[in-house]
Amino acid sequence: MTIYNNLINGAWTAGHATTPNTNPSDQADVIGEYAQGDAADVNAAVAAAQAAFPAWSTSGIQARHDALDKIGNEILARKDELGDLLAREEGKTRPEAIGEVARAGQIFKFFAGECLRLAGESIPSVRPGIGVEITREPIGVVGLITPWNFPIAIPAWKIAPALAFGNCVVLKPADLVPGSAWALADIIHRSGIPAGVFNLVMGRGRVIGEALVQHPDIAAISFTGSVGVGRGIAEACVKSGKKVQLEMGGKNPQVVLDDADLAQAVELSAQSCFYSTGQRCTASSRLIVTEKIYPAFIEALQARMAKLKVGDARAAGTDIGPVVSQAQLEQDLSYVEIAKAEGAVLAAGGERIGCHTGSGKQGFFLQPALLVDSTPAMRINREEVFGPVASVIRVRDYDEALAVANDTPFGLSAGIATTSLKYATHFKRHAQAGMVMVNLPTAGVDYHVPFGGRKGSSYGPREQGRYAQEFYTTVKTAYTLA
Ligand SMILES: NC(=O)c1ccc[n+]([C@@H]2O[C@H](COP(=O)([O-])OP(=O)(O)OC[C@H]3O[C@@H](n4cnc5c(N)ncnc54)[C@H](O)[C@@H]3O)[C@@H](O)[C@H]2O)c1
Ligand SMILES: O=S(=O)(O)c1ccc(CO)cc1
């Protein structure tokens, strides 16, 4: 079995132990053994990054552009192979996984361009004879902590802006899916960037993540993951004066109005609730449907769900791959039971199914679940499940739909299906979410525009697009006597 080590100061370095990376479509399939680091590895990685920072932060923008562009090109050239690895370790279908890898490549190429576009301002002083310049500088060594559901895109969209703007990086990927992050680290390592500028330390969140968050030489933490872990990280960062950025959970509403195009509303709901096995922070999990279209919508959605093919993530024709792990499968199943106990009615799916794979071992397959006649106060409508489980709430009209959509502690993404310009325009302005979709699934975002939410979903500056510079740079104001 191949052992994949950590990357510290430009050298592949063994951890104190290794963990098998297994395939959720087939638990007998072990992809490799991945290093488990410890606090000493974090210390070594941060020291290497700290030592590399003076040269990297003042290196020419052409050199940084060329390195990021080269990384992007290799990712894109290898998207099929890397997509297959991603589907194998995380369980997205192969086309979805290839799409995610392509996104990662495009992100590196976008931020290669951003190296050249970072600009300052020159402003006259209120005092005659003095010039004022406002520039952006790198912040130092950044710790990046990423979740399992986008094993290459989320690392990419934190690493690329961090490096573009002259910072050094220690990446801690999710314990469940180290393979794609390791492959990305290998590409970055071979791109020619100096030793120590980028470091990878794999291992447990409570060990590696906490050591990064507590480290005095880390200037900033960018985290994507669960609300519970994110809040703890924010508290620790505020205490120690670190800059912090959090992207966390969602309970994204999809409103369907009486005047919606029924076929379009059904398709976008099926896509955003169930594709990628519902394991997207932008997935919709609450379908809020006005009363006249409700019966036809439920019937058509059940018919659409009956056509979804659940199976091995890498098999041709699979629409919905496995749930990522046994623990996540248990969580999904338990929420179906909680919803039923609170009075919702299971109208489709919701049971574990056996899709035998090559070895005869079972993966973690769940038939996508639809719960109807649910109410806003039920736990299924308030807590993030993070699986292919959607609940439907019947409402009278647009006003009630908007109120229910906003009645959540989260605010990442919100969608509306309507043919009314009036309601679409009102929803765009009044939905309490960072991202709003009109006649589109709540999931499915571009890589060159800001990404993030409100309320309990996000904290700190936006990720992505040119807005990423807000987090990865610090502003300097310089006064010069002419
Ligand atoms: N808003 C977004 O952009 C977005 C995107 C993807 C996923 N998510 C969220 O991520 C969650 C699923 O991902 P997950 O299960 O990997 O989340 P998680 O919070 O369990 O883990 C995220 C990362 O934090 C690390 N970690 C765990 N405990 C830690 C600690 N005490 N200190 C520091 N780091 C620690 C983990 O090892 C992992 O690398 C869902 O809630 C989902 O909504 C949000
Ligand atoms: O909404 S999606 O386009 O599926 C999407 C892609 C990547 C990420 C990374 O956080 C989130 C959502």
Which of 19-28, 137-146, 350-359, 368-377 has the least mean pLDDT? 350-359
The best mutation among 107, 268, 282, 458 to test binding of ligand 2, ranked by most ligand atoms within 8 Å of the C-beta, falls on 282
Per-residue model confidence (pLDDT) at position 375: 98
Per-residue model confidence (pLDDT) at position 354: 84
Q: d(Cα 97, Cα 82) in Å, to the nearest integer? A: 8
- Longest Cα pair distance anywhere in the chain, in angstroms? 80
What are the start and end residues of each CATH 3.40.605.10 domain in the chain?
Answer: 3-248+457-481
Is the pLDDT at 399 greater than 80? The verdict is yes
The residues near 464 (Cβ < 8 Å, ≥ 6 apart) are 157, 447, 448, 449, 450, 451, 452
356 — pLDDT class (breaks 50, 70, 90) = low
Ligand with the closest atom to the CA of 202: 1
Is the pLDDT at 357 greater than 70? The verdict is no
Pairing of strands 243-247, 458-459: antiparallel
Q: d(Cα 7, Cα 199) in Å, to the nearest integer? A: 5
Per-residue model confidence (pLDDT) at position 358: 55
Question: Residue whose CA is closest, atom 10 of ligand 2?
Answer: 154
Gap from CA of 318 to ligand 1 centroid (Å): 27
**Closest atom of ligand 2 relative to the 276 alpha carbon:** 4
Per-residue model confidence (pLDDT) at position 361: 61
DSSP-derived letter for residue 275 is G
Pocket of ligand 1 (CB under 6 A): 145-150, 172, 174-175, 205-206, 209-210, 213, 224-226, 229, 232-233, 247-250, 281, 384, 386, 412, 457
Gap from CA of 46 to ligand 1 centroid (Å): 21
Which single residue is written with the structure tokens 């502690």?
409
Q: Which of 96, 247, 383, 463 is catalytic?
A: 247
Q: d(Cα 413, Cα 187) in Å, to the nearest integer? A: 32
pLDDT over 70 for what percent of the chain? 99
Q: d(Cα 471, Cα 162) in Å, to the nearest integer? A: 9
Gap from CA of 89 to ligand 1 centroid (Å): 17
For residue range 189-247, what is the model confidence (pLDDT) as tens digits?
Answer: 999 999 999 999 999 999 999 999 999 999 999 999 999 999 999 999 999 999 999 99
Per-residue model confidence (pLDDT) at position 362: 81
Gap from CA of 282 to ligand 2 centroid (Å): 6
482 — pLDDT class (breaks 50, 70, 90) = confident
Is the pLDDT at 124 greater than 60? The verdict is yes
How many angstroms from the chain centroid is the CA of residue 53? 27
Ligand with the closest atom to the CA of 437: 2
Does residue 397 sit in helix, strand or coil?
coil
Q: d(Cα 143, Cα 439) in Å, to the nearest integer? A: 37
Question: Residue whose CA is closest, atom 33 of ligand 1?
Answer: 209
Is the pLDDT at 188 greater than 90? The verdict is yes
The best mutation among 19, 107, 148 to test binding of ligand 1, ranked by most ligand atoms within 8 Å of the C-beta, falls on 148
**Closest atom of ligand 2 relative to the 224 alpha carbon:** 10
Consecutive H or E run containing 317: none
What are the start and end residues of each CATH 3.40.309.10 domain in the chain?
Answer: 252-438
Q: d(Cα 189, Cα 198) in Å, to the nearest integer? A: 8
Pocket of ligand 2 (CB under 6 A): 150, 153-154, 280-282, 443-445
Of residues 100, 90, 41, 18, the one with CA closest to residue 443 = 100
For residue range 411-439, what is the model confidence (pLDDT) as tens digits?
Answer: 999 999 999 999 999 999 999 999 999 99
DSSP-derived letter for residue 437 is E
Give me the mean pLDDT over the 242-270 stretch: 98
Gap from CA of 69 to ligand 1 centroid (Å): 28
Gap from CA of 285 to ligand 1 centroid (Å): 19
For residue range 270-311, what is the model confidence (pLDDT) as tens digits?
Answer: 999 999 999 999 999 999 999 999 999 999 999 999 999 999
Pairing of strands 130-138, 473-481: antiparallel
Gap from CA of 386 to ligand 2 centroid (Å): 13
Does residue 93 sit in helix, strand or coil?
coil
Q: d(Cα 210, Cα 145) in Å, to the nearest integer? A: 10
Q: d(Cα 36, Cα 68) in Å, to the nearest integer? A: 28
User: Does the active-site annotation cover 247?
Assistant: yes
For residue range 303-333, what is the model confidence (pLDDT) as tens digits?
Answer: 999 999 999 999 999 999 999 999 999 999 9
Q: d(Cα 417, Cα 440) in Å, to the nearest integer? A: 8
Of residues 441, 454, 412, the one with CA closest to residue 252 = 412
Gap from CA of 210 to ligand 1 centroid (Å): 13
Per-residue model confidence (pLDDT) at position 128: 96
**Closest atom of ligand 2 relative to the 463 alpha carbon:** 10
Question: Residue whose CA is closest, atom 3 of ligand 2?
Answer: 444
The third-level CATH classification (topology) of the domain covering 252-438 is: Aldehyde Dehydrogenase; Chain A, domain 2 (3.40.309)
Partnered with residue 437 across adjacent β-strands are 415
Pairing of strands 454-455, 410-411: antiparallel
How many angstroms from the chain centroid is the CA of residue 263? 29
Q: d(Cα 160, Cα 157) in Å, to the nearest integer? A: 6
DSSP-derived letter for residue 383 is S
| Cβ neighbourhood burial of 296 (10 Å; 0-12, 13-18, 19+) | middle
Per-residue model confidence (pLDDT) at position 359: 57
Give me the mean pLDDT over the 368-385 stretch: 98
Question: Taking the complete model, does pTM exceed 0.95, yes or no?
Answer: yes
Gap from CA of 243 to ligand 2 centroid (Å): 23
Ligand with the closest atom to the CA of 284: 2
Q: d(Cα 336, Cα 228) in Å, to the nearest integer? A: 22
Q: d(Cα 414, Cα 178) in Å, to the nearest integer? A: 31
The best mutation among 107, 149, 150 to test binding of ligand 2, ranked by most ligand atoms within 8 Å of the C-beta, falls on 150
Q: d(Cα 145, Cα 249) in Å, to the nearest integer? A: 15
The best mutation among 42, 149, 455 to test binding of ligand 1, ranked by most ligand atoms within 8 Å of the C-beta, falls on 149
The third-level CATH classification (topology) of the domain covering 3-248+457-481 is: Aldehyde Dehydrogenase; Chain A, domain 1 (3.40.605)
How many angstroms from the chain centroid is the CA of residue 436? 17
Ligand with the closest atom to the CA of 433: 1
Phi-psi region of 31 (alpha: psi -120 to 50; beta: other; left: phi over 0): alpha
**Closest atom of ligand 1 relative to the 458 alpha carbon:** 1
Per-residue model confidence (pLDDT) at position 99: 98
Question: Residue whose CA is closest, atom 2 of ligand 2?
Answer: 444
Ligand with the closest atom to the CA of 244: 1
For residue range 1-55, what is the model confidence (pLDDT) as tens digits?
Answer: 899 999 999 999 999 999 999 999 999 999 999 999 999 999 999 999 999 999 9
Contact 41, 6 (CB under 8 A): yes
Q: Where are the alpha helices (DSSP H) in 131-226?
A: 153-164, 178-189, 210-214
Provide ipTM, 2 decimals: 0.96
Of residues 413, 410, 369, 408, the one with CA closest to residue 391 = 369
Per-residue model confidence (pLDDT) at position 328: 98
Is the pLDDT at 470 greater than 70? The verdict is yes
